Amino acid sequence: MSTTTRKLSVLDSAFLFAETPECPMHVGSTTIVRLPDGYDGDFFEDFRGLIASRLHLAKSLTYKLAQAPFEIDRPSWVEDEDFDINRHVFRAALPAPGDRATLQRLAGWLHAKTLNRARPLWEIYVFEGLPNNEAGIYSKMHHALIDGGAGAALTEILYDTSPQPRSVPAPRAGVGPPKPQTARDVTSSMFAAYAEVMRLPFQSASERKTIELPRSGGSDLSSVLLDAAIHQLEWPLQLGASLPDILQSLSTATSALLKPNALKALELLNAPPTPLNVAISSERSYSTVSLPLGRAKAVAAKAGGKVNDVVLALSSGMLRRYLLEIDALPKKTLTAFVPISARDQGNAEMKNQVFGMICPLATNVEDPRARIEEIVTQAGNAKELANPFRGLVPILTDMPTFGTPMLFQLLATFYSRSNLANVTPPGVNVVVSNVFFSRKPFYIAGAEIEHIYPMSIPVHGQGLNITVQGYRDQLDFGLMAAANVLPHVEHLVEMLPIELEELERAYGLTA
């Protein structure tokens, strides 16, 4: 019997509750590495051995789910006492012609398969024998365990900054899984929590914000009920201590809404229906492309924006071009949900700390220059409306959900089976995410990482996800689509370099 390591937050749990066969809730990447010249070893064995030797640096990779009895509360992470790396790192082979395009098709197929919830929620497949002395690494990890910021931190733990793998401290001897809780432990937790509550009148507001009452840590029914009761008491205390911050956030947001352009910005957030915004199938279509970061920065400087604005403009131009091709471009602009990290600098905690904003994409604007400048303006407005709520993410994602998990899962299944996405207006048209990783090169098992192409999640009503990873001097785009919506997503990928050239031409940046 394992003991609770950490209960999932509301946001972490939401990715589990929302999962259906059509909507697997894991993220991942297809990484291209170049093997050292003259390498004659077994890269798969070297890779697996390296991961195995560093698992103690990322203990979350050895956690599995423990459902609460009768699913009356959020699940918890527990140590997998039977962890076996051979169930998570696999040698894979590519069919002919064994190139990157073949790797992308196979990675898209693998990405459509849900992870086994009886084990830690991640898998890695190593594909050797690509042309030009390259290998491919497809990895996926459930979004309940990780977000983009945590993923970058995890990569820095497991990867190296030089071809020679660095030495890492060995795991501490004698540190094993925590012992199962006894009835005496549960009783002790109850009295410890009571004693902590008695100290509240003598604590400052900042202490009450971060109060964590003792828990039993058990996974049996009595322990879960006790911990749920403690959480029901703890969360209002945290909420009350954070009330000044909440009021300040509401005041700031209200001030932003009263500005002259706010009503226009809000009206633009109403997404129009498109062929991309329907119920999706379980099959996936995936394609990638790399664009030079320097060229994107040059456009951003001319447009008065940032690289993220250029990413939105490239996505906008691509979607406009595609919808014009199929005679389905709405007169009203499409909108994008843009995730925003709520992490503090240096925070590598392995849980989701993210919120987001809705940004109009100006797809109704024909001129590329006018389009990106409209995006810069609207993205600024959207960020101004969203930013006041950034500090509230930690407390809102830990609110009590006792008794609701089963209901959430039933609602997700009903929404999926009923095809409601085909008849209800979309909340947004597309998800566009941009995560910057590193300007310096990274290595794994001596092989240089050339590209990290991200893979994310299409859902019912948003059949296309555009995710970008900034690495070295390039922007690595990964477009993941439901195959019933975009069976040949590579056709859209081919438009992205064209759209970058259009933006450069609009600002006179071409030779």
User: What amino acid positions are annotated as catalytic residues?
Assistant: 143
Taking the C-alpha atoms of residue 208 and residue 238, their distance in angstroms, rounded to an integer, is 6
Picking from 132, 125, 161, 126, the residue whose alpha carbon sits closest to that of residue 43 is 126
Could you tell me if 274 and 330 are in contact, meaning their C-beta atoms sit under 8 angstroms apart?
yes
Question: What's the full length of the chain, in residues?
Answer: 511
Structure token pair of residue 126:
């190593």
Query: Residue 471 corresponds to which amino acid?
Result: Y
Rounded to whole angstroms, the Cα distance separating 173 from 166 reads 21
> How far apart are alpha carbons 372 and 311 in whole angstroms?
10
Q: Nearest 5 degrees, angle CA 192-CA 194-CA 197?
A: 110
Q: Are 484 and 284 in contact (CB under 8 A)?
A: no
Q: Cα(138)–Cα(132) distance, rounded to whole angstroms?
A: 18
Name the amino acid, one letter, at 404. T
Sheet containing 464-471: give its strands across.
284-292, 474-482, 464-471, 430-438, 335-341, 354-360
Cα–Cα distance list, 254 to 100, 250, 258, 337, 374 (Å): 49, 6, 6, 21, 23
Structural contact between residues 446 and 163, judged by C-beta atoms closer than 8 angstroms? yes
Tokens linked to 201: 């009148």
Determine which helix (DSSP H) or strand (DSSP E) holds 5, and give its type and residue range. strand 4-7
Please check whether residue 92 is in contact with residue 125, taking contact to mean a CB–CB distance below 8 angstroms: yes
The residue to which tokens 């438009």 are assigned: 495
CB distance 333 to 379 below 8 Å: no
What are the E-state strand segments in 167-319?
284-292
- Give 21's Cβ-side CA count (13 Å radius): 2
* Backbone phi, psi, residue 471, to 5°: -145, 125
Q: Determine the Cα–Cα distance for residues 223 and 217; give it in Å rounded to an integer.
A: 7
CA-CA-CA-CA dihedral for 110, 113, 115, 118, to nearest 10: -120
Q: Which amino acid is at 438?
A: S
